[in-house]
Every structure is written in C-alpha cells, then in structure tokens.
Structure 1
Amino acid sequence: MGARMQHEAHDTHAHHQHQHHDPGTASANGWATAVRATLHCLTGCAIGEVLGMVVGTALGWGNTATLVLAVALAFFFGYALTLRGVLKAGVGLRAAVRVALAADTLSIAVMELVDNGVIVLWPGAMDAGLGDALFWGALAISLAVAFVLTTPVNKWMIGRGRGHAVVHQYHH
C-alpha cells in the first residue's frame, strides 16, 4: 500500500508538472497567472509610484518632475523585484537583466500609463498635498484601475510565452 501511494503521489506530481508547463493548459490557468504577474508588477510600481509622489510633493516639485520621478522609480522597483527572484535562482546578472526587461517592460508601461493618466485627469489630485485624503485616495484608486487594465495585457503576454511566462521558469 505504501508503494502504491508513493506511485500515485509521483503520478500526481508528474501530472501537475505536465499541466504546469504545458502550453495547452495556459488558457485554463492564464487568468490566475496573469493576476499573480500583475500583483507582482503592481507591488513594484506602487512602491516606486508612492515614493516618487511623496518625494516630489514633499520637495515642492512641479507636476511634471514629480510624475517623471514616480514613473522612473516604478520601473526601477518593478525591475528590481523581478531581478531579485531571477538572481536568487542562480542566473547571472546580465541574463537576469534581460529577463527582467523582457518580462516587465510592457506590464510596467501600461500600469504607469493608466495609473498616471487617472491621477492627471482626476480634478485636483496633482495639486493635493501629502496630508490630503484626495492625494492618497486618488493614488489608491489609480493603482486599482491600473491593476484591472494591466491584468488582460499580462494574460495576453503570458499566453504567447512572453512577460512573466519568461520569469516563471526561474521560480521553482
């Protein structure tokens, strides 16, 4: 009985691995994978976005300089999170940078375009100070809208073996 259970466990594991890496099952788990990839992207973008908005606002910078800083930091932290995982998997720095660029560029770009578009279009949001509920509310809502609109982009890329599908092979 013990050998049979081991065999069944092995078969289950092998079946899981086959499903996990089989492109034919990509549509079945594509949305869940896309949501995880977008949450990963959102984490890096949110860190950079919030830090950039806080620094730019605290220093009294104009809207353009603050947005440029926020976007630059969003890309930096988005790439950094991916790099950390890929480097941890033993990939060299040059190859890890290529993986991060390939995996995250479109996702971060869409997220930043949507996120900053919402903030720019929200009346008074760009002029709100750090102590204003409008500043934090608009920022939170803009990130939520960016998440919703970026998830289908990530699903599309993953379905084509791009984006976080490239990073996925390094997560064991």
Structure 2
Amino acid sequence: MDHAGRDHSAQPAGGASWGTAAQATAHCLTGCAFGEILGMVIGTALRWGNAPTMVLAIALAFVFGYSFTLYAVRKAGLGLKAAVRTALAADTVSIAVMELVDNLVIAFTPGAMDAHLSDGLFWGALLGGFAVAFVITTPLNKWMIGRGKGHAVVHAHH
C-alpha cells in the first residue's frame, strides 16, 4: 500500500496502471521541486552564475527526491542500508530524467536563465519545466514499475 492507503501490488497484465505511474512521478516531482527551487533561490540570493546555481539546484533535487523515499521506507521498517539502496533503485532514473527535461526547458526558454526570483518568467519557465518533465517521466515510470523497477521497489516495502 502507498502513503494514501491504496494497494499497488496488483498491476494490470500490461504492467503498471497510469494512476500508479502518475502517483510515483508526482512523488518524485515533489522532492525534485523542493530541492530545485531551494537551489535556485540560494544560488540567486548569493548572486551565483547560472552554472553553479543549476548544479546546486540539481544536487538538491536529488537530495530531496531521495530523502522523501528514504523517509517513507524507513517509516515502513527498513534499515538504513536497505532504505538507501531502495531509494537509489526507486528514484535515480526518474529524478535524472525529470531534472534533464526540466533544466532543458529552462535553458531553452528565452531569457529564463537571466530572470530573477521576482520575475514571472523565472517562475513560468520553472513550473513549465516541471509540467513537461511530469508528462515525459510518467510513461517512463509506468514502464519501469510494470517491470518491477523504479518505484515498484518502494511499493514492495509497503
């Protein structure tokens, strides 16, 4: 069962359901968004350039993404070593694809890389990147969960 009490152990014959995939992607996106926004805010506040700010934002996206899963599986009773392995197996591909897509959207949105925290363009590009990343990552998570990989590893411990 997941955090909302739904049972994901019975998957359709073709693999994971779209609902399961969307929920796994939303979980991943939440951690990524917290980390990435925090990294952008810190880098911008410290007047760092684009490259170091993006590196910090991406690093924090992974940290927060993994942390959310670590918390859930530790709460379910896994030891720390097993929880770390589970988080890495569950989230690495999803976070990596999400960050790649999101940052490409930001990088290719004219003016977004030079926008400030107070600019609508900054937030529009960031949120737009998250939306595109969600749409692209959900089918990937569906495919991985249907094959017992990715977030399916987490569901085995609930």
- TM-score for the superposition, normalised by structure 1: 0.85
* Cα shift readout 1:24-83 (whole Å, capped 9, x = no counterpart): x25375211000000000000000011011111111101100000000000000000000
Distance in 1, matches of 2:16 and 2:141, equals 13
Measure the CA separation in 2 of the matches of 1:28 and 1:110. Answer: 20
* 76, 83, 92: which one aligns with 1:96: 83
Partner of 1:34: 21
1:121 — aligned with what? 108
Which residue of 1 is the match for residue 3 of structure 2? none
Q: Which residue of 2 aligns with 1:136?
A: 123
Q: Distance in 2 between matches of 1:28 and 1:106?
A: 18
Which structure is higher in RCO with an 8 Å CA cutoff and minimum separation 6?
2
Mark the CA change 1:95 to 1:28 in structure 2 (over 3 Å): closer, same or farther: closer
Instruction: Find the counterpart in structure 1 of residue 38 from structure 2.
Output: 51
CA distance in 2, matches of 1:149, 1:21: 24
Q: Secondary structure at the match of 2:142?
A: helix
Cα shift at 1:104: 0.2
For residues 101-135 of structure 1, give each alpha carbon's deviation from its aligned partner in whole angstroms, at most 9, with x where no partner exists: 00000000000000000001111101001111111
SS state at 1:55 partner: helix
The residue that corresponds to 2:145 in the other structure is 158
Which runs of 5 or more structure 1 residues have no equivalent in the other structure?
Answer: 1-15
Q: Name the CA distance, whole Å, in 2 between partners of 1:21 and 1:124.
A: 45
3-state DSSP class of the match of 1:101? helix
CA RMSD of aligned residues (A): 1.6
Query: Are the aligned partners of 2:105 and 2:129 in contact in 1 as well (CA < 8 Å)?
Result: yes
Q: Indicate the percent of aligned positions where both proteins have the same amino acid.
A: 69
Secondary structure (helix, strand or coil) at the match of 2:148 reads: coil
Counterpart contact for 2:16–2:142, Cα < 8 Å: no
Instruction: State the partner residue of 1:78.
Output: 65
Q: Which runs of 4+ in 1 moved over 6 A?
A: none
**In structure 2, which of residues 127, 150, 155 is the aligned counterpart of residue 168 of structure 1?**
155
| Greater C-alpha Rg | 1
- Structure 2 unmatched runs, 5+: 1-5
Bigger Cα displacement from structure 2, 119-128 vs 25-34:
25-34
| Aligned amino acid, residue 131 of structure 1 | S
